[in-house]
Structure 1
């Protein structure tokens, strides 16, 4: 049954990941992440220094970041379509600035809606670029030049029409985006994301890569709004931002496997798991766990897949309920994913040391949930090693 599901889903996953607009946007977000993280680290340090000018710069950064994102997306989309990079980047920037100016709204609040219309505009731009060169009595060079000007004029007209439509339907679109953000931010939405992610991992596919392609734009907008609220000394709005997954769910990597690594390193009686635990110990603390997923293995292992699904779900429920009671603990800052989870969680919450209690509890939960399955699997591997058998994945 699982093999059939993989066969059916894998082509669809590959098609989604190869969509030009999503692929370009994903590359743009990844390219700009170091800038975003560096800004977050400075703002986090300033939570202790409390220099007001830095917070004001942070608010400005949140306002203009969508403009950088649109420009970077335009760059990668132009490369995908082998079009003029400068033309598409400039047109996309003009589109966002006009949308923001005519609609009298902040760029960060309208970011997702503008991106949607930018997708449409760039698709039309790409189609228009294929219109044959107008033949005339002008010399070829002059004809090509006039043809290009005419196409740009046509694209500006289309831009105006799309902006008009976007502003006319903005209230409705804003409600739709708000509903999506609310669903993504809810505990049920987060649990669905977790289950999809670990399902893909358990079948051998990169779960985070697929999910982030679809949800990272929404996570980014929620994060920017949270940062703005916190910098204005107001309560953040969203729990389910990307740092929530990074530091309160994926402790040690997808599947919350740091507890399993600790068990393998300290208590394993089988040679295979003990060696794996020693090798994966350092990488587990910086949230790299492919060695554990494929080396244990957890992939297609019916026994170890149970805690692989169960542990992150329990961590979601515990951390969501805990954080929901204290709005100023909402994950509002992005930090390097290779940080140890205690430091990453502390930064994400704005430097409130109280969050360390929750993170330690989550780590203990990961150990306790994996413990009975680890003992059973370790016992079977030990027996298999003693009899000279192969590693048993219990996938039959």
Structure 2
């Protein structure tokens, strides 16, 4: 009975959820901001490479403000995270509806800017605070990107557009077609903003921070919160659903926001406030991919007795070094394989606990806000993410622990496969 409910209700629900147009648009739109963050992170590493001799040499050669100058591109990339996200989300969502994606994106950007309270200097000039365009504005970017684009698409489908003759160039025709739905979308956002400003909250960012961002960030930056998130990722993968993609659609804004706070603290010379960031999962929990399977990949490649596992090991060990483990998940397989469910959950859980404990106690440096690509091999990524050798050492410790967790389960399956192969030969 329970199995039927699982197969007929729960699994199809999560499969539909992970493939829904809004979640896909959210995931792809957020991913659009990642290249800019990586570019900014490179300049941040150049400016603050964690070797004192290098720091002294660069400061002596180029002056005391060289680090500030080098990090101009870091500021230019980190501080447009929300702007890029709202553009990417709106573009991908409108594209899925087969509506002019560029026009919808422009309207969504305008609506996003409309949510931001402007500042006025002493001379009377108005300006947009940059912090509302970066990770601080990610939740607003998500809501605007989804809601305004859906509204825009609905208006277009209702034919509330200005149609131009077929002889008019498409660029001009699309611009006029977006005029009426775009105006209605902006007017609605304007009314919402005026209503919020008349309330005790005073601004839309204050509401988002009070209702969503603060509660979720506190949950995320705790050990129980990190454990719950990781458990959810592993269970989804076990049923063949891309757990990391499904969960990151909701959690990535929080992880990137925590990362940006660490980067800002690093630049200001202050203590790093957050442990659980994007790099916490990418570089310390998911080594070898979801399930922390890098140790399993090496055992398949070098310790297998059965021919099937030896062949599989040659195929999976290379991708595992770059944290790609779909060959293991679907080739071994891990999906719907009760023999591997326990280690597939326990190994990343152990990584969460050891990493959180080591960073919270100060034994290992926290991630310093540098976006290290998730495909960066372990040991290298640990050093780059923390700016300290302790990060690389922690990764090595985690890999050993993961291998020990998988070893007994691997040996049992290897013996079983070897026996089957001998029976076939006999």
Q: TM-score range by the shorter chain?
A: 0.7 to 0.9
Distance verdict in 2 for CA 1:374–1:155, change over 3 Å: closer
What stretches of structure 1 of length at least 5 have no aligned partner? 390-396
What stretches of structure 2 of length at least 5 have no aligned partner? 56-66, 120-127, 168-172
Instruction: Give the alignment of 1:346-385 within 5 angstroms.
Output: 346-349=383-386, 351-385=387-421
Cα deviation digits, residues 352-376 of structure 1 (max 9, x gap): 1221111111011011111222222
CA contact (8 A) 1:62 1:228 kept: no
Distance verdict in 2 for CA 1:18–1:265, change over 3 Å: closer
CA contact (8 A) 1:257 1:289 kept: yes
Instruction: Give the alignment of 1:200-349 within 5 angstroms.
Output: 200-326=236-362, 328-330=365-367, 332-349=369-386
The 1-side partners of 2:325 and 2:177 are apart by 54
CA contact (8 A) 1:269 1:378 kept: yes
Matched position secondary structure for 1:234 = coil
Greater displacement, 1-10 / 221-230: 1-10
The 1-side partners of 2:350 and 2:44 are apart by 31
Residue 63 of structure 1: how far off its partner (Å): 1.8
Does 2:209 align with 1:174? yes
Does 2:191 align with 1:161? yes
After TM superposition, which residue ranges in structure 1, 4 or more long, deviate above 6 angstroms? 144-148
The size of the alignment, in residue pairs, is 384
Distance verdict in 2 for CA 1:265–1:90, change over 3 Å: closer
Report the equivalent of 2:16. Answer: 15
Distance verdict in 2 for CA 1:367–1:218, change over 3 Å: same
Higher RCO, Cα 8 Å, sep 6+:
1
Instruction: Give the alignment of 1:94-173 within 5 angstroms.
Output: 94-102=110-118, 106-107=131-132, 108=134, 109-131=136-158, 151-165=181-195, 168=199, 169=201, 170=204, 171-173=206-208
The 1-side partners of 2:271 and 2:74 are apart by 16
Task: Specify which of 66, 80, 86 is matched with residue 82 of structure 2.
Answer: 66
CA contact (8 A) 2:39 2:77 kept: no
Report the equivalent of 1:394. Answer: none
Distance verdict in 2 for CA 1:62–1:282, change over 3 Å: same
Matched position secondary structure for 1:303 = helix
Instruction: Give the alignment of 1:81-96 within 5 angstroms.
Output: 81-96=97-112
Cα deviation digits, residues 145-199 of structure 1 (max 9, x gap): 9997555443332120122345544434312211012212222122122112111
The 1-side partners of 2:392 and 2:295 are apart by 16
